[in-house]
Structure 1
């Protein structure tokens, strides 16, 4: 199947990671029903499927990340735009083709500075999020299918899958950009199928179905996200084209063709530190007991002191009355 599309051998011109060269064998190959060949760098697998250790980055900066020079080919494209679609994601997750992507345009070198953020939320009873230890609490078919397809649960993937399942039940096929489906399950985008998809999409967004999806797709307790800072410059220069690209790629006959069919991208950490946002319990059960106990102790202590003081006053009143009676007897006249 890979040979039927535009492959990594034709696409990859230059590759380096942390100043060390890399090649087409370092990319894992997958098939997207919508885009065709997709290649993942540092997924934990090589192109032939062999498992390898994940590469690590210990320093920030443009020279310590992944640098790629890519070709989009010189043949005319039938797509609406020309370039490369890039996804940046954690190795434990798989991207969805319609969210979290970056368009790389030909004729430009794109620098993407990445900062990683890790969010940890408290599970039940503090929230309704789905934690790693609470998978058994969510037994919906949608939750299980999201885990099965993507390896790690993400609410956004589950919500997308919920919509795709809604269309599947009514149009008898999956939308082509759904991850993990077989070609036999993908919709043929003819007029009849497109009419079915559009009709039920309008019905979907104007109904309570999206709210039902939120009930079936809880928020995840642990989230890894990335913030990007993107900048661009024109690529290639006349000097780079004449001395490096043109001698190696004869199909790039002129400088203009080179600009229209090549691009470069540098992906690197802007800061090697990871921002961690973690929910904490405002009060533990032990702290609550201690506070309740202290409050009760204060109340009981105050009540006991008040009782003692009242008793003391009563005793003094009794002694005063007796003393007064004794004084009255001693001063009464004798007959």
Structure 2
């Protein structure tokens, strides 16, 4: 009996029996550890799931806590996504200054080619006759009451004008400049900020629609004759009518092409010096026989580069033919026109006269007499007009916009016209031919005044909604507020769950160590008891 009892006690002390008991103990301890933490956590709602006595209340609390947790996760996700969109806002300020940079002022005669120059060129006379401008103009007048026919005639006139413009733009730049209106003939008076100015203050460029255009205060290194000139912009220190730019111009209506130019005057455009002017799309018409006063209000816009919403650019790594040809800075319009020109070059094999094109690239000008070329060019003109071209043209980061207030009065007045007529006779030339007729004087002369209404300017600045220093702090505080609102989490709550995680890790480490120690020792001289015997002794 003693041997049986000792043998029984010895068998009950086998390591296998202790391993079974240890597993049961570990599982119970892990469950108890989790329940203890959740029952006493500072997160509101979770302890109520375990404290509820009735199953229905426990189920309601479980549903409510799960719903609140999902809402908190959803709103935090939205907040993080908003954070990575880099939101911004606009700040508008009125800046007072004692000195403002005067903008560039571009003027173009509404008549692009002088009649006397066309008459001297047999080829241009033939081109004008072949284009059908005279016939379409006559048909337009005879069918003015039929709206559908009038629309068709307008399309025909536009097509005829394009044919003539295509022939004209086949000429060299020197020939086109010679055929256009000359600044020396047009400019009869110039005054800026109370001081006289002259033609050397202007630079020139060729526009496909208006011919020779002249820019005052363009900051280019040469004037319109090609002579060296200062690149510093002119400034004004006083606002008002007396301290702006005063121009008197002779538009030479006697040189207008009858069937091509339907309105008289000049096209005037006010822009920043770095911007390429596009008078065919921007600007105002200034009529003859009037003094047109244009008051300016400057608006400066500062945008943010990527990754912010505007994703503006300074023109880095973006092709700009207007910079290559005219030295102009990057603008969105210049980029779109460069893209249109590149599309025509790639698909039609020629360069279009409507857009800038560097001569060194070597592509010929488009000849619209070729049907295939004409159809191809029309297709991409249509795409350009309807903004269907695939172009990467973001906004420029810095932009100056000038808001205009335009007013006018009769000029020269009846009291002044006699003295003005005497001056015209002294100047001679074509002005002498119109000096004796007040009606012809008012038909051929333009006066324009451009001035700042005040020295203040409006600054529209795009700013990050969250600055570099505070955006992480704002994100964390906002997320903390949402989680605290929905589920009552705080930093202390996170510390509790962190402590729970450490306890679980330590528990598993301790279990692994105990398992290794128990399985690591075995007596090779002791026979392993059978599972049947183990079960019997366990029941005992």
Aligned mates of 2:397, 2:437 — CA distance in 1: 53
Mapped pair 1:157 → 2:334: yes
For residue 400 of structure 2, give the secondary structure of its aligned residue in structure 1. Answer: strand
1:285 to 2:468 alignment: yes
Q: Choose from 407, 412, 422 the match for 1:236.
A: 412
What pairs with 1:244-323 in structure 2 (closer than 5 Å)? 244-248=420-424, 249-252=431-434, 253-291=436-474, 295=480, 299-301=490-492
Question: For 1:75, what is the secondary structure of its paired residue?
Answer: helix
Structure 1 Cα separation of the partners of residues 288 and 353 of structure 2:
25
The Cα shift of 1:35 comes to 2.5
- Among 69, 86, 107, the alignment partner of 2:248 is 69
Cα separation, partners in 2 of 1:60 and 1:174, compared to 1, 3 Å? farther
What is the 5 A alignment of 1:47-62? 47=224, 48-62=227-241
Normalising by structure 1, we get a TM-score of 0.76
Q: Cα 1:203–1:179, aligned 2, differ >3 Å: closer, same or farther?
A: closer
Q: Structure 1 unaligned runs (5+)?
A: 306-335
- Comparing both structures, which one devotes a greater share of its residues to strand? 1
Change (3 A) 1:158 1:239: same
Name the structure 2 match of 1:121: 303
Contact 1:96 1:178 in 2 (8 A): no
- Matches of 1:56 and 1:81, distance apart in 2: 34
Query: Could you tell me whether the CA contact under 8 Å between 1:98 and 1:177 is conserved in 2?
Result: no
Change (3 A) 1:54 1:200: closer
Matched with 2:54 is none
Relative to structure 1, is the Cα distance of residues 52 and 75 closer, same or farther in structure 2, using a 3 angstrom cutoff?
Answer: same
Q: Which is greater in Rg? A: 2
Deviation beyond 6 Å, 4+ runs, structure 1: 302-305
Aligned twin of 2:396: 220
Does the aligned pair in 2 maintain the 1:236–1:263 contact within 8 Å?
no
RMSD: 3.3
Q: Of 351, 374, 377, which aligns to 1:197? A: 377
Equivalent in the alignment of 1:105: 287
**Partner Cα separation in structure 2 for residue 287 and residue 7 of structure 1:** 59
Q: CA deviation at 1:170?
A: 4.2
- Decide whether the 8 Å contact of 1:109 with 1:264 is kept in 2: yes
Q: Is the 8 A contact 1:128 1:219 kept in 2?
A: yes
Match of 2:272 among 90, 93, 96: 90
Aligned length: 297
Any unmatched runs of 5+ in structure 2? Answer: 1-173, 425-430, 497-540
Q: Match of 1:329?
A: none
For 2:189, the equivalent position in structure 1 comes to 14
Alpha-carbon shift at residue 181 of structure 1 (Å): 5.6
